[in-house]
Chains A and B, each alone.
Chain A
Amino acid sequence: MTKKHTDPLERVAQEMKKCVKCGACRANCPAFGTFQREPATARGKVALAQHLVKGDITLDDGTYAAMSKCLLCGSCVDKCPNQVPTDEIVIAAREALAQRRGLTTFHKAVGQVIRNRKLMNFGALAAAVLGPIFFRKVPSTSGLRLRFPMPFIGGSRHIPQIAKKPFMKRHPEIIKGEPGKPTIVFFVGCMTNFVYTEIGEATLALFRHLGCTVIIPQGQQCCGLPGMSGGDLDTVRELAEQNLAAIEKHQADYVMTACATCGGALHKLYPLVIGKRNPELKARLQAVADKTVDAAVLLQKLGLHPEETGTGQRMRITYHDPCHHRTAGIAKQPRTLLKETPGLDLVEMEGADRCCGLGGTFNVYHYESSLDINAGKSKAIIDTGADAVVTGCPGCIMQLSDGLKQAGDKTRVLHTVELLARKIRR
């Protein structure tokens, strides 16, 4: 029996009906903001998905181009009067496209690398995946096909340094804390493991400071978000199971991550993509999802008290909300912690909760548009006159750093935990 290619879309067909095409998404969609054409809006993609199900259009280049113009940032869902889950609908459409057309060379490479920790540990290839950024991506005029990915040619993009030794290779799997204190599984994530190892170190230091036992499961893999972005949900499912096995090996009170994107995968995406096909697996993933918590949220919950430790010099900071935090309702907690921290003055930027424009592999296909969205973000940051922009997602950190450097600005980009870790006595 041949599989119907619109199957993934049938999964969300009921949800599509909720869209009344009112147009509210035009006000909030960063992709529409830059493309200014209706197929880039949420209601446009819902309309196309509906026509795909009806069979009026096919999974051709035009559909591919439209569905690629989404950052999966969830802004449209937040502000939609009818809460249409356009993010889920786009994910389903991309899965249908991948099933029908096969994965692009680029996404095949992504899938291969993120499923293979050994390959990833071989820094160069890890880099290739972590930053689609390492590729020069120009959508060719013949229809958005990628030029073959060329590692290490970043174009005008500023490339972060790859760590000499990954974070996870520097630490044992179990770091014992004080008796009676919580046990925490640390889901590290690729960006922290391979690029921004200082985020990992800061996170570890903070939870050890609180006396927690920290477990860094050695079997953990990439969360799979880069795969999802291209419709490679089979890879996501595979990684979900591997990560589940790695996490379940340990008894823990919390599954903590300092990466908003990884948090989004564990908390929302895994139970979603497994669907009803495997209720037992879905239930186990849901149990992990329920225990998953962001580092800053958990630090606040466990009562971290940042102290005056340094030179006494004040620092002006502004906070950027990662999309995967906004959609999970995380906004107040990191701000509260930062406001309580001595020596910091938090000033809000305009549109703090607007997407930075990275959008998984969106920036691979639409680098110019990604830059355009990022430029607005950079301006908002610079306008605050802050010494540093602080956020809770290594992906955003990479994108914000790139944007600020492109704008010729010297504002530093830091993770919340990095600032907090400076304010504890070790």
Chain B
Amino acid sequence: MLDARTLQQLTDIVGADNIATGAQDLICYGYDATQMEFLPDAVVHPDSPEQVSRILQLANKENFPVFPRGAGSGFTGGALPKGGGVVLVTTRMNRILRIDTDNLVAEVEPGVVTEAFQMEVEKLGLFYPPDPASLKFSTLGGNVAECAGGPRAVKYGVTKDFVMGLEVVLPTGAIIRTGGETVKGVVGYDLTKLLCGSEGTLGIITKIIFKLLPYPDSKKTMLTVFDSIDGAARAVSTIIKNKIIPTTLEFMDHATLTCVERRFNLGMPESARAVLLIEVDGDRDLIEKQAGQIHKLIEPLGLVQFRVAKDAAESEELWRVRRLVSPSLRDVNPDKFNEDIVVPRSKVPDVIRRIEVIQKRYDIPIVNFGHAGDGNIHVNIMIDKSVPGQLEKAHEAIKEVFQAALDLGGTMSGEHGVGLAKQPYIPLELNADQIAAMKSIKAALDPNNILNPGKMLP
């Protein structure tokens, strides 16, 4: 609990309009997409790095935890105020400070919504590729803190691949710059990379310098249907092996297709067991050639349908299949655990087979879809929490899914992060020495453990 004096000091920092302690506000800043909920003691909306710094200095002095929060759309509870404290919302800092067309960089504040930024740079013929599914509402600060991915990661990489530099308020209140805006730079430790994906445990991001690319000339979307899950999985590794890097390579398994078909009746062929949505972008002639090559390569793998979009409207129609996945899943069961394991791309067929075995053993529906092109599979374990025993079963199944990914040389999470949701499973992936090294970094930067405590590391 915060005493009245501390609350007054917080009010002095951000102004009375930008602090809330009413029950309704606390509830509304206590949830995220995990559906877990913890009530904070206060919510503050600072508007500058200086305000953030003063809040963190006060937190160290008065010993209260601070939980940074963007849009609150995370899947692992990274922004949740577990144990109470102050939620620090970054969305008032939402200015695009500059877009430098000479050097192809942009500087933004953390509260800018991802899609809004993309639209601005695209007006200038530039491109910011990371495209998490939440891009219409998630913030760039949150994207960097969680190192968000997205379908285009196959070709372009994830958020951290576009972060050149940061302005960060360290847990003790010091405001520092990391990295810069030069293509090269090796002076000192690479704190920029350290902070990307640190889930708000090492500092609060107040400015971001992004690398930009020229906007691709054109793109081509293909919807390919296979008569076996194995065929689709092998198609992924075949395309990559033949040195074609599509922009996106989205995968949907039979369970996913059944859900979508049942709800939306898209008229998939009877024999459809898996779908790959493939997109290539770049020079017009090149992508024509690539589309032809892809068709030839995957034809022998049990391809039953190959549709190429003729224009933007048709492309949107093909993407619709993918977008309808999420709303359809609830028909299977009301509650889902949405995991996002990654394996080396060549191991996609193997991990899918392992998951099929797990599904049979536990007898709970597991729906798989996602960014197969980069080996990132969204494994959705669908249960009904109100049925006794299902929750326990789900936890056991999740553990086995993680183990399968790790056995194949992969990782537990590609883009959702650890937060609270995956914390119990951390020892599966990281050994004691690795955890100790990370904890020493945390302790060095945050000696009083006030910034997003209790997250990520066990």
User: Do A44 and B330 touch across chains, with their CB atoms under 8 A apart?
Assistant: no
Q: 8 Å CB contacts to B: which residues of A105-120?
A: none
Q: Could you tell me if A47 and B134 are in contact, using CB atoms closer than 8 angstroms? A: no
For window 5-51 of chain B, which residues contact chain A by CB distance below 8 Å?
Answer: 20, 22-25, 27-29, 31-33, 35, 37
B137 surroundings in chain A (CB, below 8 A): 23-27
Name which residue of chain A comes closest to B31, CB basis. Answer: A21
- Chain A interface category by residue count: 20 to 34
A83 within 8 A of B: yes
Chain B residues in 8 Å Cβ range of A146: none
Is A171's beta carbon under 8 Å from chain B? Answer: no
A23→B138 contact, CB < 8 A: yes
In Å, the complex CA distance between A56 and B39 comes to: 12
Q: Are A21 and B33 in contact (CB under 8 A)?
A: yes
Query: With the chains together, A124 CA to B134 CA distance in Å?
Result: 49
B22, B31, B136: which contacts A27 (Cβ < 8 A)?
B136
Cβ of A23 and Cβ of B134 under 8 Å apart? yes
Q: Which residue of A lies closest to B24 (CB)?
A: A62
Among B27, B72, B91, point to the contact of A48 (Cβ < 8 A): B27
**A34 interface residue (CB < 8 Å to B):** no
A30 proximal to B (CB < 8 A): no
Known: A39-B25, A47-B28. A81 touches B326 (CB 8 A): yes
What is the bound-complex CA distance between A26 and B134, given in angstroms?
10
Instruction: Assess the B31–A47 pair: CB atoms within 8 A.
Output: yes
* Nearest-CB residue, chain A, relative to B23: A57
Instruction: Name the CB-closest residue of B to A45.
Output: B28
Asked if B73 is an interface residue, CB under 8 A from chain A, the answer is yes
Tell me whether B33 and A47 are in contact (CB under 8 A): no
B24 neighbours in A (Cβ, 8 Å): 39, 48, 57, 62-63, 65-66
Q: In the complex, what distance in Å separates the CA atom of A41 from the CA atom of B137?
A: 12
Q: Tell whether, in the assembled complex, residue A62 and residue B327 are in contact, meaning their CB atoms are under 8 Å apart.
A: no
Task: Knowing A62-B22, A82-B327 are in contact, say whether A22-B28 is a contact too (CB < 8 A).
Answer: no
Residues on A with C-beta less than 8 A from B37 are 47
Output the least CB separation between A164 and chain B (Å). Answer: 46
Whether a CB of chain A sits under 8 angstroms from the CB of B92 is yes
Closest B residue to A47 by beta carbon equals B27
CB 8 Å contact bits of B330-342 with A (1 = contact, 0 = none): 1000100000000
Asked if A51 is an interface residue, CB under 8 A from chain B, the answer is yes
A188 to B143 CA separation, bound complex (whole angstroms): 51
CA distance A63 to B26 in the complex (A): 12
> Contact between A18 and B28 (Cβ–Cβ < 8 Å)?
no
Interface flag for A36 (CB, 8 Å): yes
Q: Is A407 an interface residue (CB 8 A)?
A: no
A82–B72 CA distance with the chains assembled, in angstroms? 18
Q: Does A20 contact B (CB under 8 A)?
A: yes
- Cβ distance A195 to chain B, nearest Cβ, rounded Å: 37
Please name all residues of chain B whose beta carbon is closer than 8 Å to the beta carbon of A51 when the two chains form the complex: 27
A39, B31: Cα distance in complex, Å = 12
Select which of B23, B29, B334 is within 8 A of A38 by beta carbon. Answer: B29
The complex places the Cα of A43 from the Cα of B30 at a distance, in Å, of 12
Given A22-B33, A26-B137 in contact, is the A38-B28 Cβ separation under 8 Å?
yes
Assembly CA distance A295 to B166 (angstroms): 56
A58 CB to nearest chain B CB (Å): 9
Nearest residue (CB) in B for A40 is B28
A351 to chain B, nearest CB (A): 13
- Which residues on B sit within 8 Å (CB–CB) of A39? 24-25, 28
Alpha-carbon gap, A82 to B263, bound state (A): 12
Shortest C-beta distance, A68 to chain B (Å), equals 12
Closest residue on chain A to residue B138 by CB atoms: A23
A145 to B247, CA, bound (A): 54
Contact indicator per residue, chain A 41-74, by CB within 8 Å of chain B (1) or not (0): 1011001100100001100001101100000000
Q: Is A23 within 8 A of B33, CB to CB?
A: yes
**Bound-state Cα–Cα, A69 to B227, Å:** 50
Bound Cα distance from A18 to B24, whole angstroms: 20
Please indicate the chain B residues that have their CB under 8 angstroms from the CB of A56 in the complex: 23, 27
How many Å lie between the Cα of A135 and that of B73 in the bound state? 39
A38–B72 CB distance below 8 A: yes
- A44 pairs with B33, CB closer than 8 A: no
Q: Does B99 contact A (CB under 8 A)?
A: no
Task: Bits for B235-279, please: 1 = Cβ < 8 Å to A, else 0.
Answer: 000000000000000000000000000000000000000000000
- When A and B form their complex, which 6 residue pairs have the shortest distance between CB atoms, in order from nearest? A23-B73, A27-B136, A38-B28, A26-B137, A44-B28, A62-B24
